[in-house]
Amino acid sequence: MIRFALALSFLAAPAMAGGLKVESPMVPLAPPGVMAHAAYFTLTNTGDTPRQLIGVSADGYMMAHIHMTEVKDDIATMSSVDVLEIAPGQSVAFERGGLHVMLMRPSAALEDGGTVALTLQFANGEAFPVEAKVMPMMGAKHSHGS
Amino acid sequence: MKQIAALAFALLSTPVTAQVQGVMLDEPVELPAFAFTNELGEDFTQADLDGNWTIVMFGFLSCPDVCPFTLGNLEAAVAETGMRVRPDSVPKVAFISVDPDRDAGYISEYAKFFHPEFESFTGTREQINTLVEATDSFYRILDPDHTGYYEVQHSSSVSVIAPDGTLRAKLQPPFDPGMTAEFLARLQIQYRRELTQ
């Protein structure tokens, strides 16, 4: 029930501006003391020109990077993504085991129900604010469509 | 060779439609002596494998995506397994950091976050390499960037160790709770059958 309610609240108010839409921004609660955790969301280019996401910053963190997890032959590797091109009409999912925002060196511990203020930076100079909700990690039951 | 044979075996013995959540090894693999510890002074050695099923996962704490995802899924998978096997056959979970330089100071808290009974440890490079090699796992610490930050590559699968201390299987992502539990229950049935033969 709680999850359902959260889903509704996300649906009700996607962040939208300048041909961009961000849905379901979230930061899973992380173990105490860890120096890095992740933020996830879905980013859609609702405009009619291609957009390039070139960086992310996060309040309360020393650094934030766009990262991609790849698992190949049983080896998990993370790599930085310098430019993420999003075509008009395209949605890009930042999700477990794929693209994610890596948040490094938090200044404070995460609290359930709190928020993390992210700013997405685009090549055209636009800075797009996103407020990600801190919530317990969703179990595996959610994520296995494939 | 060992891996290829094991994988082929698993593919033959499971329906093609089932998602492969694990690979049973053809032959149990004996593990060498090892010793890990954490900042609370708790240790994890070969003796801890005796008499219970153990899942060992290698990772590192600056791992924002894969490691929390795996441990979160293992928590769900172990809970599911608990509904299928006897309480004393529910696997224990040990997380071993391959990055002691960054993680040794607070390693004990990590796995507990996902389940109060999960434990986490690290150790010397030599001990890490010993168990990584013995379990046919992998990790590599990449070169640091200009800020000194470095990435770590590591196996995405985890090792399943039987109560006799031998490596019996590997679990593979996505660690679907139901299917992983089913795999573990089958593995235990096969293990008991071997013991009674």
What is the domain partition of chain A in residue ranges? 2-136
Q: Given pLDDT bands bounded at 50, 70 and 90, which one contains residue B145?
A: confident
- The CATH number of residue B50's host domain is 3.40.30.10
Do B155 and B139 meet the contact criterion of CB atoms below 8 Å apart?
Answer: yes
Overall number of domains in chain B: 1
Task: Determine the pLDDT at residue A14.
Answer: 57
Alpha carbons A28 and A93: distance in angstroms, whole number:
16
Q: Which residues pair with A132 in a beta bridge?
A: A116
From residue B163, alpha-carbon distances to A35, B51, B177 in Å are 35, 4, 22
Task: Determine the pLDDT at residue A138.
Answer: 64
Do B169 and B23 meet the contact criterion of CB atoms below 8 Å apart?
Answer: yes
Q: If you ran DSSP here, which 8-state letter would residue A119 be given?
A: E
Chain A neighbors of B66, CB-CB under 8 A: 69, 71, 76, 78, 97
Task: Determine the pLDDT at residue B75.
Answer: 94
User: For chain B, what is the mean pLDDT?
Assistant: 89
Of A67, A60, A47, the closest CA to residue B151 belongs to A67
Q: Given pLDDT bands bounded at 50, 70 and 90, which one contains residue B129?
A: very high
What average pLDDT score do residues B109-131 get?
Answer: 96
Contacts of B68 (CB under 8 A, 6+ apart): A28, A30, A31, A37, A38, A137, B114
Q: Does A77 touch chain B (CB under 8 A)?
A: yes
Chain B neighbors of A38, CB-CB under 8 A: 64-65, 68
The verdict on pTM exceeding 0.90 is no
H-helix segments, B14-82: 66-82
Q: Given pLDDT bands bounded at 50, 70 and 90, which one contains residue A16?
A: low
Question: b/e for B138-168, b at 16 or more Cβ within 10 A?
Answer: bbeeeeeeeeebebbbbbbbbbbbbbebebb
CB contact under 8 A, A31 and B151: no
Alpha carbons A84 and A43: distance in angstroms, whole number:
11
pLDDT digits (tens, 9 = 90+) for A60-114: 999 999 999 988 888 998 888 999 999 999 999 999 989 999 999 999 889 999 9
Q: For domain A2-136, give the fold.
A: Immunoglobulin-like (2.60.40)
Of A5, A38, A39, the closest CA to residue A25 belongs to A39
| Enclosing domain of residue B48 | 2-196
Alpha carbons A138 and A134: distance in angstroms, whole number:
11
CB contact under 8 A, A31 and B114: yes
Do B136 and B157 meet the contact criterion of CB atoms below 8 Å apart?
Answer: no
Task: Determine the pLDDT at residue A137.
Answer: 78
The two tokens of residue A27 are 């930061």
Chain B neighbors of A31, CB-CB under 8 A: 61, 68, 109-110, 112-114
Alpha carbons A35 and B21: distance in angstroms, whole number:
30
